[in-house]
Amino acid sequence: MSACPDTLVETAPLPVLGRDVTVPLVTGGEVTYAALDYAASAPALQRVWDDVAAYAPYYGSVHRGAGYLSQLSTDLFENSRRTVAAFLGCRDGDQVVFTRSTTDSLNLLATALPAGCEVFVFETEHHASLLPWGSSPAGRGGRDVRVTYLNAPRTPGEAVRTLERALADRDPYGPALVCVTGASNVTGELWPVRELAAAAHAHGARIVLDAAQLAPHHPVSVRDLDVDWIAFSGHKLYAPFGSGVLAGRADWLQGAEPYLAGGGASRKVARRTDGGVDVEWHTTAARHEAGSPNVIGVYAIASACKALTEAGFDALVAREQALVARIRAGLAEVPEVRVLSLFGDDAPRVGVISFVVDGWNSSHLAAALSAEYGIGVRDGLFCAHPLVRTLLGSEPQDPGECGAPEAGAGEKSLNAIRVSFGAGTPDEHVERFVRAVKELVTEGARWSYRTEDGRCVPDPTG
């Protein structure tokens, strides 16, 4: 484990909304809320909010009108597409398609898979990148999409070797796609994306990168990583309003039926003499952007891309690694804590750390962190059930404890705690979290808790 630095930067490099919000404590009084659940949804950058507020009076329909506001909104929308393309280092000919989220982006790509495509995906993926392939319309439509789920590797090298063996056994002449995360939403560990891309291409396969957890923390380039597509979400990139991105090669997207049928995706629609309708679809990104675009969400993403670029990823990464080291060093001082990892303590990672505490159900500890310290973290399986179950193995938590998830027949009750942070996290939030974990584990909770609707919550009676 890296040594903890002596000092940390006192303030977050990028101001976010909610940094001054106070929340009540069950023990009395209020405290500034410590948002440490960035991996679920990062708070909006103040810069993003200000940019959106400045544009809001000029909001108009995109690609739909001749009026000034419509034309301005259309320019804003398309300029945002260019900003995102630059942020992702897109190649000439790549398309940037705006979607609702990473999940939406990967489901869109799943509908564009050629017939007979083989998909290879590690069991360690978030459900957004684990589940779309076998249940996609392409598969349901009888286009023979086959999915191979690969076992969790224990080193980056093993990940590459596992993929190479799987690809070597496939039909060398058929289409194939590899889906891999850039940074785990459970452990924060960085995956060997360049090496996996090289292995995929050496065996005639394409690769899509789930960058939902990577893009907010590290520079991500289609060109430099040599991936075919990148998917990410605005709400994890400090940009709310429900927009996402799928960027990369155009041919499979152009060859697929539109993701949604409707206005904006169609270039020309005409009645036939037999009473039917002929449709000519766009071949640009508009093919998969039917309906009125979410221009506010798209502009928010572009604003966040600019803010991160201007702040400089070198400085952001260095500062975040200091926070990672501080938390890991603090947790290491508590013998009851076990940090979850696939690749080991020395593996590079982003600001995402999951752990379990001996003697505590994770839901109970997360509830106490919130109610007694004003700290927001995540507990559960983090929409990555196979991975968390692999990491927890045979360490069940007491199913009778407050908030413990119900286990199925023959299953163990498993869940963990995740703390995640980024460019908007003040040092005080990290220090408070480390202190709170130590106090709760050594001294116990100061309040009573009960299970309500499956969640551990403070007992009103104390």
- What confidence tier does 461 reach under pLDDT thresholds 50, 70, 90? confident
Q: Taking Cα atoms as reference points, which of 301, 299, 291, 261 lies closest to residue 64? A: 291
Q: Taking Cα atoms as reference points, which of 131, 197, 119 lies closest to residue 386? A: 131
Task: Indicate the pTM of the whole model.
Answer: 0.92
- What confidence tier does 403 reach under pLDDT thresholds 50, 70, 90? low
How confident is the model over 10-36, as a mean pLDDT?
A: 94
How confident is the model over 447-455, as a mean pLDDT?
A: 90
Q: Taking Cα atoms as reference points, which of 371, 352, 373 lies closest to residue 417? A: 352
What confidence score (pLDDT) does residue 11 get? 77
Q: What is the pLDDT of residues 216-246, one digit of tens each?
A: 999 999 999 999 999 999 999 999 999 999 9
Pairing of strands 375-376, 34-35: parallel
What confidence score (pLDDT) does residue 339 get? 97
Q: What is the pLDDT of residues 48-61, one digit of tens each?
A: 999 999 999 999 99
Cβ burial of 268 (10 Å; 0-12, 13-18, 19+) is exposed
Q: What is the pLDDT of residues 302-318, one digit of tens each?
A: 999 999 999 999 999 99
**Backbone φ/ψ region at 390: left (φ over 0), alpha (ψ -120 to 50), beta:** alpha
Q: What is the pLDDT of residues 79-133, one digit of tens each?
A: 999 999 999 999 999 999 999 999 999 999 999 999 999 999 999 999 999 999 9
Chain centre to alpha carbon of residue 426? 21
What confidence score (pLDDT) does residue 400 get? 47
What confidence score (pLDDT) does residue 100 get? 97
- What confidence tier does 140 reach under pLDDT thresholds 50, 70, 90? very low
Contacts of 222 (CB under 8 A, 6+ apart): 88, 89, 90, 91, 94, 229, 230, 247, 248
Average pLDDT, the chain: 92
What dihedral do alpha carbons 306, 308, 311, 312 form, nearest 10°?
-110
- Active site (annotated) includes residue 383: yes
Question: Looking at the predicted structure, is the pLDDT value of residue 148 above 90?
Answer: yes
Q: One of 4, 117, 305, 383 is an active-site residue; which one?
A: 383
Q: What is the pLDDT of residues 281-297, one digit of tens each?
A: 999 998 998 899 999 99
